[in-house]
Structure 1
Amino acid sequence: MSEIEKRRGFHYGFLIVACCCVFSATSVSLAFGCAGVFYTPVSEAIGVSRGVFVISFTCMSLTAGIGVKIMTPFVEKYSLKLAVIILLLLQSVCYFAQSQFTQVWMFYITGALLGIVVSLTQSIVATVAINRWFKTSTAFFIGFSSSMAGVSGVIINPIAGKVMETYGWRAGYIMYGAIILILAVPFAVFVFKDFPADKGLEPYSGRNKNNENKKDENIKQSDISIEYKDAVRSKAFFAAMGTISCFVCTCCFVPYVASYASSLGMSLTFAATLAGMAQIGSLIGKNTIGLAADKNPIFLVTLGPLVPLLGLLILLISGGRSVPLLVIGIILVGSIYAASTVGSPLVVIEVFGMKNFMKIYGSICVFTSLAGAAISPLMGMVVDLCGGSFTLILAICAAMCILSIILGLYAFKEGKKMKAAAAKIEYSELSEKIF
């Protein structure tokens, strides 16, 4: 670190966090939180049902799972920065192209391409970059940057609605393309850096000198990584995959919140408001789980699913008869997004280490994306079979939260064993070289 930076207490790593916030507030927010405003006007304009048009979102979800596998070799050969620039430009082009589309199959193609984009921008970029630039408070910064998607969604959604109301849905897509091009791309090109060494710096490690030895010890533990071939054949891998799958599948209930409220006889206005409450839960949860995980990573697989489990139990026990309990329950359930988007990659890092994170996480995402894509429509079918009641769905989601805790704790236990064995091997090899 330069003398000026030491005096001012500034570290370039905080600009990396700012970049991650921008990527989340633009790329992720537009692809997920701000996509729903197009469903009705576009489907009506091109003459298809909303269900047929929403398949484009399913295409995005599916390719998001394989996107990490596709992009990992590219990032390893070139750089994360170049990958981010290319993907953001691709996202901008997709939105500009969508403003000219006339057939639904065209949206399916761009949906698949957008899936590859968000496979990195949703959680990989922040997770990898922040772990490179910081030795402390990594989970908090990852959670904070991820939460910006919800904050920007509150701002962008009404603006997009007004633009579309005044100029049409095609103008809305042009606006989205411009947001990526004007805001996200410049940050990727001019501010984002791959490693602290690119700026002649060391990773930021905080200022608490009293805890320096303790931090160094923790850093050494976190530096132990499991080789990819060993990881994917381990019990810890399948336990971690099960944990993350439970997170993803439980998340599939959140888009049904408005329908759930309607099934209880609530007005459409209240149903929409309740859906917004879930996003508030997500926003609070992402920051909370980050802070908690920095204290002890075990909170990723305990507190992460335990909070939404409490919300689901409140909904099941109250039966939706109490509006205050309904609101509290939905806010708590919304925090499952924190466990999924923030917790999932951090679970993989905690269990297997950082070295082969993208390869291991990519393999897990292939399965979890398929599970999520299958569970979402299945939930709708189950509700229909139950005569519009969500009771069984709530019970299944609660069971998934409990299962995720059990599998998560087991994954952590097995991961510690693997890291201990790996550390012994490294020590033995080092001893042989010395003696």
Structure 2
Amino acid sequence: MEASQKSGFHYGYLIVLACVFICFGPCALVLSCAGIFFRPLSADLGIDPGMASYYLTALFAGSFISLPFSGKLFQTKDARVCISVSGALVAAVFFVQSFTMSLWFFIACGFVMGLAIPTLLYLAAPTLINRWFAKRAGFFIGIAMAFTGIGGVVFNPIGTYFITTVGWAFAYRVFAVIVLAMTLPFSLLVIRSYPADKGIEPFGADAYTGSKTENAASSAQSGMRAADAFKTKEFVLIFVWALLINICMYAYMVIATCVGGMQIEGVADALTFAGLAVSVAMVGQTLGKVVFGIVGDKDPRICIVVGLAAGVVGLLCYQFVPASHASIFVASFLVGLFASVTNVVLPIMTRSVFGTLEYSPIYARISMAASLGGIVMALIWGTLHTMMGNWSAMYIGEAVILAACIAIGLAVMASESKMKQRWMSAEQIEHDDAS
């Protein structure tokens, strides 16, 4: 162990690798690949494809209910057990979905998937990386989260191939096997809850020496108690910020629909062009996760301003700039850049304001806002589209909301120093009482 530390290797790198596979596999399959099943499954069930999308609403509803419990378990139980059980449940739901015979059965599966996925989707990468890295945590969170989008790029065509050749039911069973293959080997053999479990300090900890110690992780586990954090105005502001950001994620999710309905000079195949626009947006999202992870380690405020301003400009481009190849690709890239904010900047903000002592239950409660946003976003913007017959209300409304979120995010970060002083004072009192 000591030799490996001197050579520059830290076990935390293996934790990042495990998180990469969790994001690349189960997280991408559940979230990034759900839509490829809606049309073929709807055709077999004899329902409108739009009704199958209620699956995602049910999934977010299940996540909203499950997150507080998942966060508490991840804080108090062995991460290997939490991740293994979550992965096994996700695989089981995929397998059961292959026997779907009715819309209500499919929606029920979505709800159960929502109960199962939060540990993998919301908690594993941000919590473990924050525990294992005292420095550069944002960068490694960004790297891991980027693979959720990369997984979508890889597995969407694979899933589509199986759907078109052997049917959607068999494709769901293939997804179940992939989830197990990309979760259990890492959860059982690689992941450890804390650096102390390997007898080392977190990467970048000031006291790090690479030697074994009973209290190796203490230098990085500093912060506010969850019960105290929930009572602060900063928690309320971050929750509202996360809710609004995720409501605005709808524009990213319907890029193909929006662009496919535009009249663009020189575009003969609107569907193919819409697919290219989605690919450009995914490039923006992937790049944003990495860049914002790097920059966020130094100053999260830059990420807040740049990421949300990119979303504002992209949305207004869709609305006001005459549609052309260049304008659509620029707008899609900027909206994709904004879409990276929720997965990377939100965990960085949470750590900056509340620390890592009870990060898991705090971040789980904040992540409930993401699920709530997923539940209501289609209702809000879809209803407005139905009423107006176009996406103008969404473009302008989301641009206004994101502009307001810049102010909210900066207000949260303005309290960073005050919050750190508050929890450090509380820790000193606890230390004095203990001694």
TM score, norm. by length of structure 1: 0.90
Q: Which residue of 2 aligns with 1:387?
A: 389
Q: Could you tell me how far apart the structure 2 residues matched to 1:387 and 1:3 are?
A: 65
Say if 1:285 and 1:338, in contact at 8 Å, map to a contact too: yes
Q: Which residue of 2 aligns with 1:216?
A: none
Q: Could you tell me how far apart the structure 2 residues matched to 1:260 and 1:148 are?
A: 25
State the Cα distance separating 1:431 from its structure 2 match. Answer: 5.9
Alignment of 1:340-355 (within 5 A): 340-355=342-357
State the Cα distance separating 1:356 from its structure 2 match. Answer: 2.4
Say if 1:300 and 1:347, in contact at 8 Å, map to a contact too: no
Q: Which residue of 1 aligns with 2:250?
A: 252
State the Cα distance separating 1:7 from its structure 2 match. Answer: 4.1
Alignment of 1:254-333 (within 5 A): 254-266=252-264, 267-318=270-321, 320-333=322-335
Say if 1:246 and 1:403, in contact at 8 Å, map to a contact too: no
Q: Which residue of 1 aligns with 2:215?
A: none
When residues 167 and 188 of structure 1 are mapped into structure 2, their CA distance, relative to the original with a 3 A threshold, is same
State the Cα distance separating 1:102 from its structure 2 match. Answer: 1.4
Q: CA RMSD in A?
A: 2.3
Q: Could you tell me how far apart the structure 2 residues matched to 1:204 and 1:420 are?
A: 23
Matching of residue 412 in structure 1 with residue 413 in structure 2: yes
Instruction: Pick which of 367-376 and 142-151 moved more.
Output: 367-376
Secondary structure, in 3 states, of the residue corresponding to 1:226? coil
Give the letter aligned to residue 290 of structure 1: G
Say if 1:250 and 1:336, in contact at 8 Å, map to a contact too: no
Q: Could you tell me how far apart the structure 2 residues matched to 1:36 and 1:83 are?
A: 27
Q: Which residue of 1 aligns with 2:267?
A: none
Matching of residue 357 in structure 1 with residue 359 in structure 2: yes
Q: Which residue of 1 aligns with 2:70?
A: 71
State the Cα distance separating 1:309 from its structure 2 match. Answer: 2.1
State the Cα distance separating 1:287 from its structure 2 match. Answer: 0.6
Q: Which residue of 1 aligns with 2:122?
A: 123
Q: Which residue of 2 aligns with 1:138?
A: 137
Deviations 1:346-405 (A, max 9, x none): 2222112222222223333334422331122321221222222x2221111111111111
State the Cα distance separating 1:430 from its structure 2 match. Answer: 5.0
For structure 2, list consecutive stretches of 5 or more residues without a partner in the other structure: 209-217, 265-269
Say if 2:87 and 2:184, in contact at 8 Å, map to a contact too: yes
When residues 187 and 386 of structure 1 are mapped into structure 2, their CA distance, relative to the original with a 3 A threshold, is same
Q: Which residue of 2 aligns with 1:421?
A: 422
State the Cα distance separating 1:170 from its structure 2 match. Answer: 1.1
Q: Could you tell me how far apart the structure 2 residues matched to 1:168 and 1:397 are?
A: 38
For structure 1, list consecutive stretches of 5 or more residues without a partner in the other structure: 210-218
Q: Could you tell me how far apart the structure 2 residues matched to 1:324 and 1:370 are?
A: 34
Give the letter aligned to residue 322 of structure 1: S
Q: Could you tell me how far apart the structure 1 residues matched to 2:196 and 2:129 are?
A: 14
Instruction: Pick which of 110-119 and 156-165 moved more.
Output: 110-119
Q: Could you tell me how far apart the structure 1 residues matched to 2:152 and 2:397 are?
A: 29
Secondary structure, in 3 states, of the residue corresponding to 2:193? coil
Q: Could you tell me how far apart the structure 2 residues matched to 1:227 and 1:3 are?
A: 34
Q: Could you tell me how far apart the structure 1 residues matched to 2:433 and 2:186 are?
A: 47
Sequence identity, in percent? 26
Q: Which residue of 2 aligns with 1:197?
A: 196
Q: Could you tell me how far apart the structure 1 residues matched to 2:158 and 2:370 are?
A: 33
State the Cα distance separating 1:250 from its structure 2 match. Answer: 1.2
When residues 47 and 349 of structure 1 are mapped into structure 2, their CA distance, relative to the original with a 3 A threshold, is same
Deviations 1:240-297 (A, max 9, x none): 1121112101111112212211332251221222122221111111111101101213
Alignment of 1:215-254 (within 5 A): 224-254=222-252
Query: Number of paired residues?
Result: 420
Q: Could you tell me how far apart the structure 1 residues matched to 2:96 and 2:434 are?
A: 58
Say if 2:257 and 2:274, in contact at 8 Å, map to a contact too: yes
Q: Which residue of 2 aligns with 1:337?
A: 339
State the Cα distance separating 1:14 from its structure 2 match. Answer: 0.8
Give the letter aligned to residue 407 of structure 2: I
Say if 1:313 and 1:398, in contact at 8 Å, map to a contact too: yes
Instruction: Pick which of 264-273 and 93-102 moved more.
Output: 264-273
Say if 2:300 and 2:345, in contact at 8 Å, map to a contact too: no
Secondary structure, in 3 states, of the residue corresponding to 2:172? helix
Q: Which residue of 1 aligns with 2:28?
A: 29
When residues 290 and 80 of structure 1 are mapped into structure 2, their CA distance, relative to the original with a 3 A threshold, is same
Say if 1:24 and 1:121, in contact at 8 Å, map to a contact too: yes
TM score, norm. by length of structure 2: 0.90
Say if 1:305 and 1:336, in contact at 8 Å, map to a contact too: yes
Instruction: Pick which of 31-40 and 180-189 moved more.
Output: 180-189
Q: Could you tell me how far apart the structure 1 residues matched to 2:43 and 2:136 are?
A: 47
Q: Could you tell me how far apart the structure 2 residues matched to 1:45 and 1:412 are?
A: 50
Instruction: Pick which of 223-232 and 252-261 moved more.
Output: 223-232
Give the letter aligned to residue 255 of structure 1: M
State the Cα distance separating 1:428 from its structure 2 match. Answer: 5.3
Q: Could you tell me how far apart the structure 1 residues matched to 2:74 and 2:404 are?
A: 34
Deviations 1:200-257 (A, max 9, x none): 22212289x9xxxxxxxxx97x855223233222221121112111210111111221
Give the letter aligned to residue 382 of structure 1: L
Q: Could you tell me how far apart the structure 2 residues matched to 1:72 and 1:261 are?
A: 38
Q: Which residue of 1 aligns with 2:374?
A: 372
Q: Which residue of 2 aligns with 1:14?
A: 13
Give the letter aligned to residue 340 of structure 1: T
Q: Could you tell me how far apart the structure 2 residues matched to 1:74 and 1:288 are?
A: 31
Q: Which residue of 2 aligns with 1:174?
A: 173
Q: Could you tell me how far apart the structure 1 residues matched to 2:427 and 2:135 are?
A: 25
